[in-house]
Chains A and B, each alone.
Chain A
Amino acid sequence: MLEIDKLSVSYGTVHALQEVDLEIAGEGVLHGVIGPNGAGKSTLLDAVSGRRRPTAGAIRYRGQDITRRSVAWRRRRGMARSFQRTNIFQDLTVREQLSLVAWRLGDDRISDVIEVMDLGDYLEERAGRIAYGVQRRVDVALALIGRPQLLLLDEPGAGLSAEETLRLFQHVRDLVGERRIAAVVVEHDVDAVFACCGVVTVLDLGRHLATGVPAEIRADQRVITAYLGSAA
C-alpha cells in the first residue's frame, strides 16, 4: 500500500526525519507510530500526505511514486488524513461540511460515516459550537469520506480523555477491518496504540527505531530505553 524509502525532512538545519524506511503493507491493518516528542511522527504524516515536501527519499503509494504530487491529488486517490489540531470548517454545520466533501469525492454514503463516528445528533450544529471531543470526530469523519484506502490519523486522541481515545481507536480499528483499508495512526497514548494497532513503529530523534507487533515493541530494549521506560 505505502512504501517509504529513505525519507528525510529538514526544517532549516533541523533534521526532523532522517532516512526513514517504512512499509505499510496489508489491508485491514491499523499501524501505530509512537515515539517521544520531536521524534518526527507528525512530520512523517505531513510528508506522506503532501503537507511537507521531503528533502530526500521517495514515497510510493499503491506502486506509484507520489513524492511530488499535490495534497488534493493524493486525497482524490484515496489517501486521507486527520490532524493533530482539529482542522475542520468551524462556521459550517457538521452536515454541510460532510456533504461538501462527499460531493467532491463522489461519496454517496456519508450516512455510514455519520453512523461510524456517531455524529447523528450534531448534524445541524455549527462545528465551532460543539464539544471538542465531537469536533475531533468530525475531523476524522472528514478523512473517512470518499472511502479512502489509506488513512493517516495524527493524534486523534489529542484533547480527549483516555476513555474517549480508546473508543475512537476502537471505531477506527473496526472500520479498517471492515473496509479492508490501511491506516497509520500517530498517538501519544501508548495503551490505546498497543490495544488497537496490529503493527507499531517507533521513531526516535527523526530515525526509525523499530517496527513490529505490540508484544515485540513492548519487549524491545531500545524502545524501552528511548521511549517507554517503566511504562512498558
Chain B
Amino acid sequence: MNGQAATRVAYRRGAALVPSARGSRRILAGAAALLLFTIGAFAPQYLANDFLLRLADGGLLLGILALSIAFLMSQAGLVSLGAASVYGGVGYLFAIAMSQWYLSPLAAIVASMVVVTVYAAILGALIIRTTPLAFMMLTLAAGEMISHAVLLEGLRDYTSGADGLVVSFGGTLFGLEAGDFANSARFWPIVWTAAWAIGSAVWAVRRSRLGAVLRATRQNEERMRFSGFDTYGPRLAAFVLANVIAGACGLLHVLNSGFVSPESLGLGLSTNALVSALIGGTATSAGPLLGGVIFAFAQDQFGAHGLTQLLTGLAIVVFIVLFPSGVVGAWRDFAQWIWRNRNREAG
C-alpha cells in the first residue's frame, strides 16, 4: 500500500469523523430508505385530501429552507437570518426572467441560480470571517436590504412593488406544465423528491472531507490553522452551498405558487425556518425537514384557535426545552440509549 493510500485508509478507519456502518447494515438502511422514499412519494396522494397535501407541500418547502440554515449551523456554527432573502430573491429572478426576459423555464432557473450563487459567494467572501454574532446580523442586514429593494419605486416595473409578481410560466419544464406544479397532489412527489435529493446531498457533504474540515474548524479554528488548514475557503463553500439550497427551495416555491411577493423575502420566513430547524434538530438532514412539516401543521392548528402567535411561542419554548437536540436528535438519543441498555444486558 502506498503512502497516500495508507493515509486514506487511516482516515477512513478513523471513521472520517462519522461512524462507518458494516456493509450489510448499509444495504439494509439503503433498502429501507428506498422503501420509505417510494411510499412517501405516492401514498399521500391517495390518503390525504387537497388541504392536507397543500399543507404538507408548504411544510416540506419550509423544511428544505430550514435544512439550509441547519447545515450552516451544525457544520460551521453560523446562524443565517438571510435565508428567506435568497429564497424569495430567486423567486423574483425566476419570475422576471420568465415574464420580462422571455427565457425558457430551464434557462430562467439556470440564470437565477447562477445569480444567487455569485451573490452568495460575494456576500460570503465579505462576512464569513466575522464573529458568529456579527455574521448573523450581517445576513439579517443583507436580507432586509433585498426585501426593501423589491419595494423601490425605481424597480416597480420589474418587481411590481408590494403587489408581488405573477409568474408567466410558458412551455414545460422536464415535461411538466404550470398546472402540474400548482396542483398540490402532483406537486407533492416533486417536492418530496427534491427534499430527498437535497437531504441526501447535505448528508453526503456532512460525511465528506469538507464536512469533517468544517466541523473541526467549528470546534477549534485556531488549531485548524496551526494544522495547516485554510479555514476561510471551506466556510465560504458551506455558505454558498446553504444559499444554493435556499435558492432551490425558492424555485420550488415559486413554481408551486406561481406568485412571489415581498413576504417571501422577509425576516418572518427566515425565523420560521430557523425555528423549524431547531424543532427537528440541526444535526441531521431529516431533522429540519420534519421540523418544517411539524411547524406548518402546528401553525394551521394554532390558527384554527385564533391564537397562532401565543401557541407558537409556547410550543417553541416547550420543544426547545424538552428536546434541545430536536425531535430527530431526541429520537436518535433514545434509540442509542435502548441499544446501549440491550448490549449491557446481553453482555
Contact = CB atoms under 8 A, between A and B. Distances in A.
A89 B216 contact: yes
B225 A70 contact: yes
Interface string B229-259: 1110000000000000000000000000000
Interface in A160-184: none
A105 to B, nearest CB: 5
B223 A106 contact: no
Given A108-B3, A142-B223, A72 B229 contact: yes
Contacts of A108: 2-4, 6-7, 10
Contacts of A101: 227-228
B225 A103 contact: no
B228 A104 contact: yes
Contacts of A145: 227
A109 B2 CA distance: 11
Given A100-B216, A106-B7, A108-B7, A87 B223 contact: yes
Contacts of A72: 225-226, 228-231
A158 to B, nearest CB: 16
A129 to B, nearest CB: 14
A102 B11 contact: yes
Interface stretch (B12-20, B34-42, B88-96, B309-317): B12-20
Given A89-B220, A107-B7, A108-B6, A96 B228 contact: no
A90 B11 contact: no
A76 interface: yes
B214 to A, nearest CB: 11
B226 A92 contact: no
B301 interface: no
Nearest to B5: A108
Contacts of B220: 87-90
Interface residues of B, number: 29
A95 B230 contact: no
Contacts of B13: 95, 99
Contacts of A100: 11, 14, 17, 212-213, 216, 227
Interface in A75-89: 75-76, 80-81, 87-89
Contacts of A81: 226
B10 A110 contact: yes
B9 to A, nearest CB: 10
B10 A93 contact: no
- A interface residue count range (under 10 / 10 to 19 / 20 to 34 / 35 or more): 35 or more
Interface in B49-104: none
A153 to B, nearest CB: 12
A42 interface: no
B228 A76 contact: yes
Which of B8, B17, B213, B215 is the most central at the interface, judged by chain A CB atoms within 10 Å of its CB? B17
Contacts of A90: 219-220
A72 B209 CA distance: 18
A71 B226 contact: yes
A91 interface: yes
B222 interface: yes
Contact of B11 (A70, A93, A99): A99
Interface in B91-139: none
Contact of A92 (B216, B222, B228, B229): B216
Contacts of B17: 92, 96, 100
Contacts of A87: 220, 222-223, 226
Given A102-B10, A103-B11, A91 B229 contact: no
Nearest to A143: B226
A49 interface: yes
Contacts of A80: 226
Contacts of B215: 91
A89 B226 CA distance: 12
**Of residues A93, A108, A146, which shows the largest number of chain B Cβ atoms within 10 Å of its Cβ?**
A108
27 contacts: A49-B226, A71-B226, A72-B226, A75-B226, A76-B228, A87-B222, A89-B220, A92-B216, A96-B15, A96-B16, A96-B17, A96-B212, A99-B10, A99-B11, A99-B14, A99-B16, A100-B212, A100-B216, A103-B7, A103-B11, A105-B227, A105-B228, A106-B4, A108-B3, A123-B14, A142-B226, A146-B228
Given A93-B14, A96-B17, A142-B227, 11 more contacts: A49-B226, A87-B222, A95-B15, A99-B10, A99-B16, A100-B227, A101-B227, A102-B11, A105-B227, A107-B7, A108-B3
